[in-house]
Chains A and B, each alone.
Chain A
Amino acid sequence: MAWEYSEKTKQIFMDAVHGKPGTHMGEIEQPDGIGEHGSIACGDALRFTFRVRRHPTDPLQDVITEARYLTFGCTSAIASSEALCTLIEQGAFTPIGALGVTNRDIVEYLGGLPDQKIHCSVMGAEALEAAVFNWAQKRGVDLLALGIDMHTEEKEEGRLVCQCFGLTEPYLKRKIRELGLKTITEITGAIKAGGACMSCHHKPGGLQDLLNEVWGPQPLTLKLLPGPPEPREAAGTDRSVPSPYQFSKQVEKVLDQYVRPMLARDGGGVEIVDIKDTAVYCRLIGACAGCGGAGMTMKLMVERTLKEMVDDRIRIITV
């Protein structure tokens, strides 16, 4: 895997990490707008803040003068954040006007992004939207009255489609339309949905169904196999072995009565790790553990005693 970043993306990233003059790392104190997107658990997160020059009477004429970011993420996430701030400052936008800056502008500014990294630019655009929403609240601007719907409710409400990244049906459908996403791969590249466990790709109400709903059924060129099953943790209680409670009680009793007192004389003991059918998994402890005769002790003393006293099919397996 070599990096497929444009020269511009690499340059912006390196300038950012070295804090070159003109870069935008940071957080504005008491900002006029603050917006966040992503989380550390999801692998990238951006906190975007801006300051405006306030218009004395009309908040709609506020102008953004300064934009800053703090970003947890990969090379392209950091470069996208830097691009966002540059674009916003250069445009001298009103906050409403800034909404015209989209993820495509960020991608273009960076000289392109690899397909699977488009989500980094989308993160920038989402944080910007959130920050403008925050500004509107602070300045008493009614965005809905202006015909701007920030869709703030849809992330909380609506059916969860991508469990891994917590994305809902209304959000996904809007993004599919807005960003013109035509395939599951494009969805994953742009907004990460379906990029982890992949179980939402083809299940009923999953990503393919949403694509079909938005764009109409697509000719199926490649049918993906159903997603791999999640690794199953070995159950503590194994269903295949009918746990012989009485059997293990008997083994313990015999060990207590006959075996352990003898081992204790030498400062040792024996511990049962598990019992499976007639196989008894155990380990010598104390002084017996490191003893050169441990193998003999197990075979001659522990196994023979248990065979005689409990069941002649018993096998000792040293653990």
Chain B
Amino acid sequence: MRTVYLDNNATTAVAPEVVEAIEAYFTAEYFNPSSAYDRAAPAAQAIKRARDTVARFLGGVDPSEILFTSCATESVNTALYGAVRANPARRHIVTTAVEHPAVYEVCKDLARSGLDVTFLPVDRAGNLDLRTFIQALRPDTLIAAVMHANNETGAIFPVEQLARITKETDPAILFLTDATQTAGKLPLDLRGAMRHVDLLAFSGHKLHAPKGVGALFARRGTAMRPFMLGGHQEGGRRAGTENVPYIAGLARAVELAQEDHDAVEARIRRLRDRLEAGLLACIPCVEVNSQGAPRIPNTCNLSVHFIEGEGILYQLNEHGICASSGSACTSGSLEPSHVLRAMQVPFTALHGSVRLSLGRYNTDQDVDRALEVFPRIVANLRRLSPYWDQAHERPRPEAEAMMRQSGK
């Protein structure tokens, strides 16, 4: 059975070009880039080249402003804990209620250790309110951490504008953005529109590099204590022998993302839009989360009323289709996605969310397959649901009342 991979927000296939670019550093060029002898020079040069490439990718920043890490989660941990420890006088953090756990959980941990954290609410479409953001900034605010695009819904926050407002309010407030879902998709121009952003994190494996490599942009002059100690690497800001092959792979991946960006994006957007429109057209009582917000072009997060997401995923799996869900039963916790709850998705649809996220290797055939299978799966589960009248393809009257009420 052919695999239809619609979970590109979770990870992506490593591009063949990337595999090719990194191979030598597993074999002939295995040396430690910190070593003094000539044989280690190619490894050291690979890191330097990669740093230059990533610096160009981020709008031509200075290469010394790039730190290589093991993943975006490490980048975010480095930025948040590092900033907190370097700025003991400021004890307040502004973030949003819909951040990825890499930010959300660190902020909750910092709150437990005595910092004051403001989690900004979002509206029904997943948008932030500018006024609420402005009001949250305080004289003792240390950092504002706002993701670029949401990993579950794809909703884009105007971080360029938020960073500017933050800096104009108080230049000492740091601005961190988690760009894991936008690197390679949206422009990250840290010398242009994003020039007010101090810290930006992303990982390689969301843009066809291997898992296990990430980067942190830290603008020169940003006060930050190192998160990992034990070596002089990365200018003493991130100890540990560099992962030479993966760093080389990350660089190749960002090049690749730029090379044919517009054509790839146009194709992904067209596939996503076709998939979304197709599903909306043939499944009743389904909504697209964050449809009313600017979104990255690859993500479609659906909430299907009156059924549970895990049962959908399980059946998709039986058809070789890979997707993910924000339902409680797939999360390991008993609570559905904090993102959808923050958006006040009606409880009749909260457990029935499915995220379909496309990538550069998806085809029209993949979309056809999903359109063929998905509606049947929904019908299968609705037939079993105590809230659904499958004969008439509509919710039972009491369930419909519930849906209307919870949607308010």
Identify the A interface with B (CB < 8 A): 1, 3, 10, 13-14, 16-19, 25, 27, 36, 40-41, 43-47, 69-78, 116-117, 164-165, 188, 192, 195-197, 225-226, 228-229, 231-236, 238, 240-241, 273-274, 276, 279, 281, 315, 317, 319
Contacts A43-B328, A43-B334 hold; do A70 and B386 have CB atoms under 8 A apart? yes
Give the Cβ gap from B145 to chain A, nearest Cβ, in Å: 13
Verify A234–B386 contact, CB threshold 8 A. Answer: no
Given A234-B136, A273-B130, are A72 and B385 also a contact pair (CB < 8 Å)?
A: yes
Q: A43 with B308: in contact, given A3-B314, A319-B161 (CB under 8 Å)?
A: yes
Q: Are B169 and A234 in contact (CB under 8 A)?
A: no
B293 to chain A, nearest CB (A): 18
Q: Is the CB of A13 within 8 A of B314?
A: yes
Residues from chain A with a CB closer than 8 A to the CB of B311 are: 13, 17, 73-75, 78
Q: How far is the CA of A188 from the CA of B165 in the complex (A)?
A: 44
User: Which residue of the partner chain, among A10, A76, A234, A276, contacts B132 with CB atoms under 8 Å?
Assistant: A234
A75-B314, A234-B132 known; A229-B112 Cβ under 8 A: yes
The CA of A60 and the CA of B255, in the complex, are separated in Å by: 77
Q: Chain B: interface secondary structure?
A: helix
> Top 9 closest A-B pairs, CB basis?
A195-B334, A231-B119, A74-B329, A74-B310, A70-B386, A17-B380, A228-B108, A47-B386, A41-B347
Question: Within 8 Å of chain A (Cβ to Cβ): is B121?
Answer: yes
Task: Flag whether B19 is at the interface (Cβ < 8 A).
Answer: no
Q: Are B308's CB and A18's CB within 8 A?
A: no
The 23 listed contacts between A and B (C-beta, < 8 Å) are: A17-B380, A17-B383, A19-B380, A40-B387, A71-B384, A72-B351, A74-B329, A75-B310, A75-B311, A75-B314, A165-B334, A195-B335, A196-B335, A228-B109, A232-B119, A233-B119, A234-B136, A236-B135, A238-B136, A274-B135, A279-B169, A281-B165, A317-B168
B342: chain A residues within 8 A (beta carbon): 231
Contact A226 B112, beta carbon cutoff 8 Å? yes
Please indicate which of the listed interface residues B311, B317, B328, B351 has the most CB atoms of chain A within 10 Å of its own CB. Answer: B311
Which chain B residue lies CB-closest to A46? Answer: B386
Question: Does B172 belong to the interface (CB within 8 Å)?
Answer: no
B111 in the interface (beta carbon within 8 A): yes
B120 at the interface (CB under 8 A from A): yes
* Residue of A14, A71, A231 most packed against chain B (CB within 10 A): A231
Cα A232 to Cα B121 in complex, Å, equals 9
Q: Is the CB of A73 within 8 A of B131?
A: no
Contact partners of B348 in chain A: CB under 8 A: 40
A213 to B148: give the CA distance in the assembly, Å: 49
Q: Which residues of B contact A70 (CB under 8 A)?
A: 384-386
A319 and B384 within 8 A (CB) = no
CB distance from B71 to the nearest CB of A (A): 18
Question: Contact flags (1/0) for B274-313 with A, using CB distance below 8 Å?
Answer: 0000000000000000000000000000000011111100
Contact call B121/A233, Cβ cutoff below 8 A: yes
Q: How far is the CA of A238 from the CA of B327 in the complex (A)?
A: 34
Q: CA A192 – CA B334 in complex, angstroms? A: 7
Contact size range, B: 35 or more
Which of B137, B342, B402: most chain A Cβ within 10 A? Answer: B137
- Tell me the bound Cα distance from A27 to B108 in angstroms: 45
Given A40-B348, A72-B307, the answer on whether A78 and B402 have CB atoms closer than 8 Å is: no
Does B118 touch A at the CB level, under 8 Å? yes
Q: Judging by beta carbons under 8 Å apart, are A17 and B334 in contact?
A: no
Residues of B within 8 A of A279 (CB): 168-169
Could you tell me the distance between the alpha carbons of A222 and B306 in the complex, rounded to whole angstroms? 39
Q: Which of A226, A228, A234 contacts B120 (CB 8 A)?
A: A234
Q: Are B334 and A276 in contact (CB under 8 A)?
A: no
User: Chain A contacts of B49 at CB under 8 A?
Assistant: none
* A73 with B308: CB separation less than 8 A: yes
Decide if B48 is an interface residue (CB 8 Å cutoff).
Answer: no
Asked whether, in the complex, the Cβ of A276 is within 8 Å of the Cβ of B119, the reply is: no
**Residues 45-80 of B contacting A (Cβ, < 8 Å):** none
Contact B380 A40 (CB under 8 A): no
Which residues of A are found within 8 Å of B330, using beta-carbon distances? 1, 74
Min CB distance B398 to A, Å, is: 11
Q: Is the CB of B134 within 8 A of A40?
A: no
Complex alpha-carbon distance, A17 and B314, angstroms:
11
Do B308 and A74 have beta carbons less than 8 Å apart?
yes
Contact (Cβ within 8 A) B351 A40: yes
- B381 on the A face (CB < 8 A): yes
Q: Does B367 contact A (CB under 8 A)?
A: no
| A43 contacts B380, C-beta separation under 8 Å | no
Is B3 an interface position by the 8 A CB rule? no
Q: How far is the CA of A36 from the CA of B347 in the complex (A)?
A: 18
Given A196-B335, A274-B134, A16:B384 Cβ within 8 A: yes
Which residues of A have CB within 8 Å of B108? 228-229
B103 at the interface (CB under 8 A from A): no
Q: Does B139 contact A (CB under 8 A)?
A: yes
Q: Whole-angstrom distance between the alpha carbons of A124 and B384 in the complex?
A: 15
Is B315 positioned at the interface, with any CB of A under 8 Å from its CB?
yes
User: Does B336 belong to the interface (CB within 8 Å)?
Assistant: yes
Set A1, A3, A274: member contacting B131, Cβ < 8 A: A274
A40, A231, A238, A317: the one within 8 Å of B169 (CB): A317
Bound complex: CA A193 to CA B328 (Å): 14
CB-defined contacts of B306 to chain A, threshold 8 Å: 40, 72
Closest to A41 in B: B347
Residue in contact with A18 in the complex, picked from B109, B380, B385, CB distance below 8 Å: B380
Residue of A nearest to B305 (CB): A40
Given A228-B112, A233-B119: A71 and B334 interface contact (C-beta under 8 Å): no
Q: Which residues of A contact B134 (CB under 8 A)?
A: 273-274, 276, 281, 319
Q: Which residues of A contact B384 (CB under 8 A)?
A: 16-17, 25, 69-72, 78
- Among residues of A, the one whose C-beta sits closest to the C-beta of B108 is A228
In the complex, chain B residues whose CB is within 8 Å of the CB of A76: 329
Q: Are B351 and A43 in contact (CB under 8 A)?
A: yes
- Per the bound structure, the CA–CA distance linking A28 and B380 in Å amounts to 19
